[in-house]
Structure 1
């Protein structure tokens, strides 16, 4: 997956709160150069509008519709949180932060949804011991689409 790099995968993260988890996801996007700092605030706004929890222990923190000016380039980050963090009572063990320009976020969301619709894929990513294992799961889906 061209938008998922080894440096964008953080293993064994721990978060006390949903807010902390969203902040860390935004920081990862920022450190990869995908976004400007202002985008992180829109990620918090988005989750307040509607939860970014999508089921199967996965949340997809991302910005609001008006946040495109804060995106430098499309990309995603994956934060593994094996101990879990509560998203409004729902356990989340995998956070996938996205930033997409020119509608690319829809294609990214589609790929994420395909991978994460299978609980076995999510469980494999939560147990992964290297970024390569997570990238392989996403690439395997691309080959089958």
Structure 2
């Protein structure tokens, strides 16, 4: 699981004016890391239109459809923090965690994320830290 988040997959102060642009940033990062093909990136937006991935507390977790898992080369998460919040479904989102998973390798991390965003100190790090290593370690549960 230590390779699930790479510093190169953490983008701070990104610019997006819509959920579609934010999902596109995540998809491109995952492609650049070699974790997915562009078909999976496209499926991330397809899935988003079926069921928006905003989860509250300023976070969204876009990912592909079950069928698109065939286009995942290896499990990977990317973290994109937006310079300005965007409206996403009924939420305001500033932090986007893009998920590429062949199976259930990301489930534990998502459970950790749910706990993390309820911890004010950890939430503050995700929302404000300028240190990608600190964010990566926190996401991996190495805080």
TM-score by length of 1: 0.88
Larger strand fraction of residues: 2
Who is 1:25 aligned against? 26
Q: What's the RMSD between the two structures over aligned residues?
A: 1.8
Larger helix fraction of residues: 1
| 1:69 and 2:85 correspond | no
Kept in 2: contact 1:13–1:80 (CA 8 A): yes
Kept in 2: contact 1:19–1:44 (CA 8 A): yes
CA shift, 1:65, in A, is 1.3
Which runs of no fewer than 5 residues in structure 2 stay unpaired?
A: none
TM-score by length of 2: 0.89
| 1:57 and 2:58 correspond | yes
CA shift, 1:138, in A, is 2.4
Runs of 4+, deviation exceeding 6 Å: none
Distance 1:103-1:28 versus aligned 2 partners, 3 A rule:
same
Which runs of no fewer than 5 residues in structure 1 stay unpaired?
A: none
CA–CA separation in structure 2 for the residues paired with 1:82 and 1:123: 15
